[in-house]
Chain A
């Protein structure tokens, strides 16, 4: 029979882990839930406005222009190179921070639906990730415009974009899921995550490049795993493919992160509906 559902309580970690994995595969197989819901939520946000989702593009464009020009002046940098840099940095950081902020409420925000229908819980994380990728696709044109305007044309390093971007998304996903699980139990978690992100943005080379800072700061930045996660996605866009050790660390963070998150997901997945 195609559809069946077994659940036995307290049947041990191995069985919990396997059913956690099954939840994830089911979420990918039944993709209509999050694909349709994601598109519809995005449409909802910009319905009744003339330029629709391109509002995000517009506001991101203005933000990039102002920050880029101001920081280039403050840092004594060449605007021609700094503006494309800041635009891709801000676009990726927005993707990162909103995926984490929204990931924190991926279960609590959907409690109405979760308690009404029997979709896999992982669908609600995929919904967040998918929606933020859609927003990213709307904003990435800012970078392309900036790059073309300042005559930074694509080279072979663009071939690394799919790989770097996927690795970035894989890393964001485990962090968002972890935030979501903890936040559904502890309701003061979302503001804490926001505070952490506010600090993290300065400890990661977003508004400045790593070459601009002194040795002590460099050490802190190099100890911050987010730096590497970021660099694999950003480097290819800026025609400076990341070095091997950057890729390696990003992959290791993804691996470690997913093992940790899957374990926590497996243990607490059965409790999540009761916490809502």
Chain B
């Protein structure tokens, strides 16, 4: 079985709670307060709707059908709130869709926020272990990678110091090295990962290219047409949670520019 992603009629409704619907005491002892919200059509964001039990939901994704396999490099395009991040989360298995189904074959690696879960007090080596474990690596996999990472990011003895002592550039180097240390079948990115300062840039570009090339499927949400052109052979344009157009990068971008 080869690497594959299959989304079938995926819809996602995200509930919005206010303080009173968040409270168990209110739920038990108070009458429900009618939510007053103007359900007009907005330029940005998904469609707002009132459901039966009076919670407001956003239809973040609406009837998404997608199928990707080995070799597909996909750019997700669309304005803010068009559902890009939600779709990435569905593919990553973080949001189970409200209706529809999803199948993925292959190891999925979501690379959203490279700093998440880190404390500034942890040492460089601990940061490697922590990020590695959050990316789903086993302890042996992490141990194998530590020397590769320290060597690549050229931090020397700094690797044994707390990361609060790092400059921004050093931090980026370390995070970049950790993120790109292991390849997976399906790469998911919210905006393309950055490579850091100039001296490091070329070395990083080579590693980044290798990293992306080794993964079988790449899905990246981006606002940048250049990124889409450079890295992707396919693209999807989302609008209000629906697929407006999908196909080759050029086809979609030409359409994107028309708007």
Query: What residues of chain A have their CB less than 8 Å away from a CB belonging to chain B?
Result: 1-10, 30, 32-33, 35-37, 40, 43-44, 47-48, 112-119, 182, 185-189, 192, 270, 273-275
* Contacts of B64-121 to chain A: CB distance below 8 A: 89, 92-108, 110, 112-113, 116-117, 119, 121
B170-189 interface bits toward A, Cβ cutoff 8 Å, 1 = contact, 0 = none: 00000000000000010000
Do A32 and B138 touch (CB < 8 A)?
yes
Query: Bound complex: CA of A273 vs CA of B85, how far in Å?
Result: 14
Complex A-B, nearest 6 residue pairs according to Cβ-Cβ distance, in ascending order: A186-B24, A8-B101, A3-B107, A270-B96, A36-B133, A32-B133
- Shortest Cβ distance from residue A21 to the other chain B in the assembled complex, whole angstroms: 16
Do A117 and B105 touch (CB < 8 A)?
no
Query: Bound complex: CA of A187 vs CA of B112, how far in Å?
Result: 26
Do A1 and B106 touch (CB < 8 A)?
yes
* Contacts of B106-165 to chain A: CB distance below 8 A: 106-108, 110, 112-113, 116-117, 119, 121-122, 126, 129-130, 132-139, 142
Do A7 and B27 touch (CB < 8 A)?
no
Given A186-B24, A189-B24, A273-B95, A118 and B108 touching (CB < 8 A)? Answer: yes
Given A9-B100, A32-B142, A273-B94, A117 and B24 touching (CB < 8 A)? Answer: no
Q: Given B23, B98, B134, B142, which contacts A187 in the complex, CB threshold below 8 Å?
A: B23
Given A186-B23, A188-B24, A7 and B96 touching (CB < 8 A)? Answer: yes
Can you list 10 pairs linking A and B with CB atoms under 8 Å apart? A9-B98, A32-B132, A112-B113, A112-B117, A113-B116, A116-B113, A117-B134, A186-B27, A188-B24, A274-B15
Tally chain B residues at the interface, Cβ within 8 Å: 48
Do B104 and A5 touch (CB < 8 A)?
yes
Q: Which A residues lie within 8 Å of B121 (CB)? A: 44, 47-48
Given A7-B97, A9-B97, A44 and B105 touching (CB < 8 A)? Answer: no
Do A37 and B130 touch (CB < 8 A)?
yes
Query: What residues of chain B have their CB less than 8 Å away from a CB belonging to chain A?
Result: 1, 14-15, 17, 22-25, 27, 89, 92-108, 110, 112-113, 116-117, 119, 121-122, 126, 129-130, 132-139, 142, 185
Does more than half of chain A's interface fall in helix, strand or loop, or is it mixed? mixed
Do B137 and A32 touch (CB < 8 A)?
yes
Do A4 and B122 touch (CB < 8 A)?
no
When C-beta atoms are compared, the residue in chain A nearest to B107 turns out to be A3
Q: Which B residues lie within 8 Å of A8 (CB)? A: 100-102
Do A40 and B138 touch (CB < 8 A)?
no
When C-beta atoms are compared, the residue in chain A nearest to B190 turns out to be A116
Q: Which B residues lie within 8 Å of A273 (CB)? A: 89, 94-96
Given A1-B1, A3-B108, A186-B22, A113 and B134 touching (CB < 8 A)? Answer: yes
Query: Bound complex: CA of A90 vs CA of B106, how far in Å?
Result: 48
Q: Which A residues lie within 8 Å of B15 (CB)? A: 274-275
Query: Bound complex: CA of A10 vs CA of B138, how far in Å?
Result: 32
- Shortest Cβ distance from residue A79 to the other chain B in the assembled complex, whole angstroms: 41
Do B136 and A113 touch (CB < 8 A)?
no
- Shortest Cβ distance from residue B116 to the other chain A in the assembled complex, whole angstroms: 5
Query: Bound complex: CA of A85 vs CA of B122, how far in Å?
Result: 38
Query: Bound complex: CA of A187 vs CA of B95, how far in Å?
Result: 20
Q: Which A residues lie within 8 Å of B24 (CB)? A: 182, 186, 188-189, 192
When C-beta atoms are compared, the residue in chain B nearest to A182 turns out to be B24
Query: Bound complex: CA of A275 vs CA of B17, how far in Å?
Result: 8
Do A2 and B107 touch (CB < 8 A)?
yes
- Shortest Cβ distance from residue A83 to the other chain B in the assembled complex, whole angstroms: 37
In addition to A116-B112, A117-B112, 8 A-B residue pairs with Cβ atoms within 8 Å of each other are: A5-B93, A9-B96, A9-B99, A33-B133, A36-B129, A40-B130, A48-B121, A275-B17
- Shortest Cβ distance from residue A254 to the other chain B in the assembled complex, whole angstroms: 26
When C-beta atoms are compared, the residue in chain A nearest to B104 turns out to be A5
Q: Which A residues lie within 8 Å of B92 (CB)? A: 117-118
Q: Which A residues lie within 8 Å of B22 (CB)? A: 185-188
Q: Which A residues lie within 8 Å of B133 (CB)? A: 32-33, 35-37
- Shortest Cβ distance from residue A260 to the other chain B in the assembled complex, whole angstroms: 18
